[in-house]
Amino acid sequence: MDRYVITLGRFIIESEREHPGATGALSNILYDLTLAAKMIHREVSKAGLVDILGMAGKENVHGEEVRKLDEYAHDVVFNAMDHNGQLCVMASEEEEGLIQIPGQFPTGDYVLLFDPLDGSSNIDANISIGTIFSIHRRISEGRDGTLEDCLQAGFKQVAAGYVMYGSSTVLVYSTGQGVAGFTLDPSIGEFLLSHRDIKLPQPGKKIYSCNEGNYARWSQGQKDLVGYFRGDDGNGGGFSHRYVGSLVADFHRTLLYGGMFMYPADSKSPKGKLRLLYEAAPLAMLCEQAGGRATDGVRDISSIEPEELHERTPLYMGNREWVDLAGEYLAGEEASVAG
């Protein structure tokens, strides 16, 4: 056993000590998110048994209703966070509108935006999926938070992170002082520090990650960019193509190995597919904190002022040199979609 085992709880406390003005509120939020992550891990790790124990939406052999995992994950996060008195409002990929704090609980100064279980359609194939979260400080007054509190640009995030439920369950987060990763030891129910200060490798592996099945719907610039990675015209080339189709898994690989993940706009989805507030913006914060860059092809994700709760955005993130190259290929393309 490593004598220097550091639990996530210990790391949060030590990080808080480095900020004399810290009230412990953010630490409290992170700690409760950890509890939710452990509970979701427990259900996700059993998901493979659903076919044996009963299909989602039906009763299992114990006569219990088997929930859709993403709905279950949403409820777990809500129930872990609604009573800690630190939040004034939440928003989730699973709920159309704002999620207010129940009247019997106090509210606080922070806002939680989350995707409770992104990529959950992959669970049947045992592919890694994830929870993504973004935390802002409120800007409104009064008990309940407002839409204005949620629609804040990514550079204002006070914390962001994700939990990836894969061959092991890892929690990666940042409060603006770098990126740390923790691996769950299910035998003791603790997230243990496994990646103290994650930085994108420079240079990173030459990996490009996108769904080439959308190629026909891409803009010419996007097609040419991928052509460079493939070496279609004799320039560039030498890249590997990797695509899991689960955002947290594709991002986690990019964070550790380098390269670039892309989900471009296309003629069917002119704003792309991924959500700005609780997918692109939190991952962009982590990517920037790890020394990389994240854009919508032109603008830094962290600079985009959101207009709607569930708005989508094209997304390019990874090593700065490849994200910058994407910008060069896409420059001047208004809708950045196939003509």
Residues interacting with ligand P6P, by CB under 6 A? 118-119, 121, 211, 245-247, 250, 273
The two three-digit tokens of residue 165, written as one number? 């439920």
Q: Which of 101/274 has CB closer to ligand P6P?
A: 274
Task: State in angstroms the smallest separation of the CB of 122 from ligand P6P.
Answer: 7
In the complex, minimum distance from the CB of residue 263 to ligand P6P, in angstroms, rounded to a whole number: 6
User: Shortest gap between Cβ of 261 and ligand P6P (angstroms)?
Assistant: 8
Q: Are strands 110-118 and 87-92 parallel, antiparallel or unpaired?
A: parallel
Q: First and final CA of the chain: distance in angstroms?
A: 59
- Indicate the residue among 89 and 129 with the shorter CB distance to ligand P6P: 129
Q: Which is nearer to ligand P6P, 30 or 337 (CB)?
A: 337
Scan for tokens 């100064």, then name that residue: 109
Return d(Cα 181, Cα 282) in angstroms, integer.
15
Does residue 194 sit in helix, strand or coil? strand
**Helix/strand number for the chain, H first, E second:** 9, 13
Interhelix angle for 281-289 vs 247-257, to 10°? 10
Q: How far is the CB of 197 from ligand P6P (least distance, A)?
A: 26
> Structure tokens of 75?
């409820």
Give the containing element (helix H, strand E) for 226: helix 220-230
- Least separation in angstroms between CB 140 and ligand P6P: 30
Choice between 16 and 118, CB closer to ligand P6P:
118
Cβ at position 291, least distance to ligand P6P in Å: 22
Q: Determine the Cα angle at 173 with ends 171 and 177, to 5°.
A: 150
- In the bound state with ligand P6P, the residue whose beta carbon lies nearer, of 194 and 211, is 211
Nearer Cβ to ligand P6P (157/246): 246
DSSP bridge partners of 182:
171, 193
Strand ranges (E), the chain: 87-92, 99-100, 110-118, 129-137, 159-165, 169-174, 180-185, 190-195, 207-209, 240-241, 260-263, 293-295, 315-318
Looking at the Cβ atoms of 36 and 274, the one nearer to ligand P6P is 274
CB 274 within 8 A of CB 211: no
Asked if residues 134 and 88 have their Cβ atoms less than 8 Å apart, the reply is no
Strand 240-241, strand 129-137: pairing: unpaired
Least separation in angstroms between residue 214's CB and ligand P6P is 7
What's the closest the beta carbon of residue 245 comes to ligand P6P, in angstroms?
A: 5
Smaller CB separation from ligand P6P, 119 or 282: 119
